Structure formats: structure tokens, C-alpha cells
Chains A and B, each alone.
Chain A
Amino acid sequence: MHPPDSSDSRPANLRAGGDVELFRSIKGGQLAALGTLYDRFGGLVYGLALAILTNPQEAEDLTQEVFLSLFRNCTYDPTRGAPSSYLITLTRSRAIDRLRAKGRAAKLMQRWGQSRVVETSPVTPMESASINECSQVVRDALEKLSPNYRRVLEMSYFKELSQREIAEKLGTPLGTVKSWVRRGLSELKETLQEYVG
């Protein structure tokens, strides 16, 4: 299994291999390539959208939006990183936008709609099979955490809540939340050491 975020000295275009070719085909308007890409990454995009939005219909809508945006105007640049990381960045960004659009930050997010350009972040690519393997490894690592540690990390990452907002939502002192976040991250880093370098 490729660690999804480990350093890799090979050029990104070599590392990304088949996925990069797939993106090229998509840029060329090949529907079949879109289908293959969906088969490979659909679970990652949909699962992340569902984790953030918590609404299956909205997660479906967002998954469709992400894949259609790839097909119609793909801004993925293989020299900048792995396709999986690009899709994670794109999905998380758009999901949190949607979440915010429903809440207090609606005005804030709406105004960027016309001028956004989405790019990827440089991390190691992952083939479809290793996405599933990696998924299991990360799930196991999260399972090992205390439920409180896990909950605060998920609230922070998937909802982009500050530790103060988490403290308020949980009715827990800020110091306790900070401690849970700190210990959670530390334990997770230790468990996943092999994949974070």
C-alpha cells in the first residue's frame, strides 16, 4: 500500500501513473475515462462529502458536481500532486462551502463563486485498491482513539469548527477540548507514523 502522504522523490507524473493518463483522457472529453475515474474515486468523494454534509442527497449532488466539474473544466495539474489529493481538496472545499452557505457564513462564501480556481496539493498518489486499504488503516487508527479525541478531531476537520466552537457545542471546557485535540493528533500520528514520515 502506498502511504497517501509520504514523500516520494519520483516526478509526480511518474508517480501518478495511470490516474494521470485518466485525467488527460477526461480533459479530452472521453466519457469512458470519467466512468473509470468515478469507479476509482467515487467512494472517496462521496464518503467525504457525506461525512461533511451528513445528508445523502446533498452528498450525491456534490459528488455529481465534483465529477462534472472535472469533466467540463478540469484544472488538475499532475505536476502539483496526486489525483486523490486533488479530489479530496476539491470535495472538502466545496462541501465546507455548502455547509457554510447554510449557516452564518453564507454571504462570505457566496461572493467567491465566480472567481475560484481549484488546484491540488502535492502528495503521493494512491491507486483505487490502495484507497480501500488506506481507508481501513485510517479507520483502524481512529477506532483506537478515545471517542472524545476522535469526535473533536472530526468536528475540527470535517466541520472546520474552531476548538472554542467545539467546546461550546459539547459543553466542555476549552482546555479539555484542546487537550483532546492534542492527544488525539499525537496518538494518530504515532499510529500512522509509517504513512506520515
Chain B
Amino acid sequence: MYGSPGPKSREDLMIEYVLGELSRCSPQEAEKFEQLLAQDLALKREVQQLRKVLGLLPYATVSAPPKHLRTAILDAAAAPPRRAGGPRISPGWIAAVAAACMAAVFGIDGFRLRQQLQAVKEANEALQQPNVLLQFSLKGTGPLSNAFGSVAMDLDTKRAAVAINNLPAAPAGQVYRLWAIAGNKTVPCGQFNPGAGGKVITQFAIPVEAYSGPIAQLLVTLEPASLPAQPTGPSLLVAG
């Protein structure tokens, strides 16, 4: 009655993307659309304009709060804070703590530490507008023990940014794939291949709705380009 799924026009995809429903309902389509966006400046500009239009909507809701609210807020602010759910931490703290942990646990030297911090910074920068940010440090295992990097996840806009160093080129017909172990599921989050010098800096939509619990671990595996729904290769980098 309400319509059946069919091929979507470019305009449909753009509107779904701008509304955020493409990322929520179809992360893979969102990822493809982002690849298109990266190549099409006119489309990118159109998306930016529509986002700005939507971003104006809250101004139509401006409404005088009840008079007592100001006093209530100032009184509460003057009272000692209740600590619940642990302190909130800033991305800068996350980066510093993650890097310090890496240094302590893996004995990273100063140069590696600086590189690690740079990877964190790049992941943050790749997510241009983070609203709700989780940050993970990736560490290579086995043959990829020199690889390391960082993943930032913006749960509000449902996007992830990945920055990795020292990642060898994937064999022909294979791609690196990021997985999140969340709840009892292993959820594919996105795929990538390193550029020159074994470096990855990329971002993509992530299927936040598919995470049935907190993210316990992130994995990177090598997978066939057919992208199987579950990991088939060994964990090459891990976080968490």
C-alpha cells in the first residue's frame, strides 16, 4: 500500500541521504552514495545546501521557556554535581589516553606514538562533523604487527572514519573490511584498501541500528570482494 522498493533515482538517494535515513536504513547504499559525492562536486554542493535548509528548521521552533526554568537551572548549577554514568570525556582526552595506552601496552617508541596520535587526528578530521564520537585504537596482529591506526565512530550521523598506517596492499580480488562485534553479532561496517605508503584515511556510513549491544571489539580482516556477511579471514587488526 505504501509503495514497494524499486530502483531509486539519484534525487531520491540524495534526499534520503540528507534526511539521514539512507545511513539508518541502508548503510551500503549510503556508502555508495558517498563515493558518488566524492566525485561529483555539483551533487556535493546540492547536498550541502539541502543540509543547510534542514539545519534552519530548529529556528522555527524558538519558544520562550517557562519563567521558573532559569532559576531552576541556575540553582542546580550552583549545587554540587551528581556523578552518574561516569565522567564525560572529550575526543582530545580519548586520543591522548588511547595513545598513552598504546605506548604502555605495546611499548611504542616516541615516533610511533606521534604517528599514532596523527592517525587519531586524521580519523577525527575525516569525520568533519562528529556529534557522538567513539574512538578505538587499532593494533595489527601476526604478519601485520607493524600496522596501527584509529577508528572514530559518530553514532549520531552513523558514520565512521578510519586512519591506518603500514597496511600492505590487499591481494587482487580482496579488500580489507572493518567489523564491529556488538552484542552477539559481528556486523560489517565498511571496507577499504590502503593508498600509497600503506596509508588508509577514509570514512563511511555505519549500520548503528544493527549493533545489538555495546561495541566490544573492532576487527579488520581481508575478505573477498564479494563481501561475505561474516568474516572469513583472520583478524589482522583489532581494537577493544
Q: Which residues of B contact A118 (CB under 8 A)?
A: 131-132
Q: Hey, what's the 0/1 contact readout for B65-106 against A, CB within 8 Å counting as 1?
A: 110011011101110010001111111001000000000000
Number of interface residues of A (CB under 8 A): 82
Number of interface residues of B (CB under 8 A): 63
Given A31-B77, A114-B86, A121-B129, residue A195 in contact with residue B19 (CB < 8 A): no
CA distance A72 to B16 in the complex (A): 36
CA distance A31 to B70 in the complex (A): 12
CA distance A142 to B56 in the complex (A): 11
CA distance A108 to B214 in the complex (A): 9
Q: Which residues of B contact A160 (CB under 8 A)?
A: 20, 24
Contact call A93/B50, Cβ cutoff below 8 A? no
Q: Which residues of A contact B134 (CB under 8 A)?
A: 112, 115
Contact call B59/A135, Cβ cutoff below 8 A? yes
Chain B residue at smallest Cβ distance from A168: B2
- A55 on the interface (CB 8 Å rule)? no
A63 to chain B, nearest CB (A): 6
- B209 on the interface (CB 8 Å rule)? yes
Q: Counting chain A CB atoms within 10 Å of each CB, which of B24, B50, B94, B155 scores highest?
A: B155
Contact call B55/A88, Cβ cutoff below 8 A? yes
CA distance A88 to B51 in the complex (A): 14
Contact of A34 among B73, B88, B94 (CB under 8 A): B73
The number of residue pairs between A and B whose CB atoms lie closer than 8 Å in the complex comes to 197
Contact call B53/A111, Cβ cutoff below 8 A? no
Chain A residue at smallest Cβ distance from B79: A68
Q: Hey, what's the 0/1 contact readout for A120-153 against B, CB within 8 Å counting as 1?
A: 0111000000011011011101100000000001
Q: Which residues of A contact B50 (CB under 8 A)?
A: 185, 189
Given A4-B56, A157-B54, residue A174 in contact with residue B88 (CB < 8 A): no
Given A34-B73, A93-B132, A174-B2, residue A117 in contact with residue B20 (CB < 8 A): no
CA distance A111 to B183 in the complex (A): 10
Contact call A31/B74, Cβ cutoff below 8 A? yes
B130 to chain A, nearest CB (A): 5
- B109 on the interface (CB 8 Å rule)? no
Contact call B63/A43, Cβ cutoff below 8 A? yes
Chain A residue at smallest Cβ distance from B152: A117
What are 23 A-B interface contacts by the 8 Å CB criterion? A4-B59, A31-B74, A35-B70, A38-B74, A44-B59, A46-B69, A56-B66, A63-B65, A64-B73, A73-B88, A93-B156, A111-B211, A117-B94, A117-B130, A117-B133, A119-B91, A119-B129, A135-B60, A168-B2, A185-B50, A188-B53, A189-B50, A196-B56
- Write the residues of chain A forming the contact surface with B, with a CB cutoff of 8 angstroms: 4-6, 31, 34-35, 38-39, 42-44, 46-48, 50-51, 56, 60, 63-64, 67-69, 71-73, 75, 85, 88-89, 91-93, 105, 107-108, 111-119, 121-123, 131-132, 134-135, 137-139, 141-142, 153-154, 156-158, 160, 162-164, 167-168, 172-175, 178, 181-182, 185, 188-189, 192, 195-197
